[in-house]
Amino acid sequence: MQSKQLPGLHVGIIMDGNGRWASARGMPRALGHKAGIEAIRRVVEASPGAGIGTLTLYAFSCDNWSRPEPEVSALMGLMRLYLRNEIGRLAESGVRLSVIGRRDRLPDGLAAAIARAEAATAQGERLHLRIAVDYSAREAILQAARWAQGCEPLTREAFSMLISGGTPDVDLVIRTSGEQRLSDFLLWESAYAEFHFTDRLWPDFDSDALAEAMTVFRARHRRFGGLTGSAAVAA
């Protein structure tokens, strides 16, 4: 499905540090993931006011299946809980929800719950919230390449459409918990993205942390491979 482009920036967030947040408090890792749900709510609520039109959150990668089964089950349970508890709020707030990634490996009933949530929020025009579940950017690129076989001529724009369905490229990638890598997240779409790394663990991320990231982003000069201002004159 082609994505409706909303005004505003596209921000991607790699939500990291739930387990460490819980461990530092002597709590099970699952409770860290539950606290991370609260952070999602805070950031979603703050995003439109921060000038964000599309927000993509990295919730569960294809490689996360290698985690211990109890933790994976807890994460999938939290996804169900989020869909059940938040969809009404999202719809009332004008937030459209999409889930990107594979659905064939999800637990029974979860893919259907995702489809119902997407349908219930399809008219949202204030924010496009995308949650990446069982997602791999490399797999997305590979799948697009399979679809593109035999397409002539294949342009960059057409290939991008196959990967992202028309969702605009990422303007800013935020990663929490002090890690500084992409971890197979939106590789194609982040070709000219700015990056913001913070030591704050995801459950502690809030509207102030988002505002700080946006302030840093807006202070940067994005040239997209060209030259601007004094640099162009000097060249």
Q: Name the residue among 101, 132, 95 with its Cα closest to residue 117.
A: 95
Which residues participate in catalysis according to the annotation?
A: 16, 64
CB-CB contact of 55 with 205 (8 Å): no
pLDDT score of 6 = 60
Q: Tokens at residue 43, please?
A: 């950031």
* CA angle, 175 then 112 then 137, to 5°: 30
The CATH number linked to 43 is 3.40.1180.10
Residue 2 lies in a domain: no
State the pLDDT confidence band at 1, using cuts at 50, 70 and 90.
Answer: very low
pLDDT score of 124 = 97
| Integer Cα distance of 96 and 69 in angstroms | 31
Q: Which amino acid is at 148?
A: A
Residue 95 lies in a domain: no
Mean pLDDT calculated for residue range 56-81: 96
CB-CB contact of 23 with 206 (8 Å): no
According to DSSP, residue 221 is labeled -
Residue 90 lies in a domain: no
| Integer Cα distance of 146 and 154 in angstroms | 12
Predicted TM-score (pTM) of this structure = 0.92
Residue 123 lies in a domain: no
pLDDT tens digits along 223-233: 877 765 544 33
Residue 55 lies in a domain: yes
CB-CB contact of 229 with 205 (8 Å): no
Mean pLDDT calculated for residue range 50-71: 97
User: What total of structural domains would you count in the chain?
Assistant: 1
| Integer Cα distance of 148 and 159 in angstroms | 7
Its domain, for residue 49, covers 9-67+130-220
**Mean predicted lDDT score pLDDT of the chain:** 92
| Integer Cα distance of 94 and 76 in angstroms | 25
State the pLDDT confidence band at 21, using cuts at 50, 70 and 90.
Answer: very high
State the pLDDT confidence band at 154, using cuts at 50, 70 and 90.
Answer: confident
pLDDT score of 149 = 86
Q: Which residues are paired to 14 by β-bridges?
A: 58, 175
In this model, does residue 5 exceed pLDDT 70? no
Residue 78 lies in a domain: no
Residues in CB range of 200: below 8 A, 6 or more apart: 17, 176, 177, 209
Residue 88 lies in a domain: no
Least confident range of 68-72, 84-88, 112-116, 226-230: 226-230
